[in-house]
Amino acid sequence: MPMNRNDILEKLKEILLSADESSRDVIHLVNENTNLHTGLGLSSVNMLYLIIATEEVFGIYFDDIGLNELQTVGDVMNYIEGKLS
């Protein structure tokens, strides 16, 4: 059964928590519009971890996108959906 957007969001929240423990206090507020940099304060190192962990969890590869193209949680979700379909 394919994952729906809510399933993807919940998995991303788990990944975000492991990428940056300091987001624990705000993770329940994360939605598709949350900015990865200004909303969650992810550094470039955190972003790399997010990419690597997302590849492992979802079994996909970020082979045709730059990190600068991923600004929001929704951007990451859209990319994952595109790779899973």
CA distance 67 to 73: 12
**Confidence band of 1 (pLDDT split at 50, 70, 90):** low
> pTM score > 0.75 for this model?
yes
CA distance 58 to 81: 10
39-43 long-range contacts (CB < 8 A, ≥24 apart) are 39/72, 40/16, 42/16
Question: Can you read off the two tokens belonging to residue 27?
Answer: 């993770």
In this prediction, residue 44 carries a pLDDT of 87
Instruction: State the angle between helix axes of 44-58 and 73-84 in degrees (0 to 180), rounded to the nearest 10.
Output: 30
CATH number, domain with residue 39: 1.10.1200.10
In this prediction, residue 8 carries a pLDDT of 97
In total, how many domains does the chain have? 1
Domain that holds residue 24: 5-84
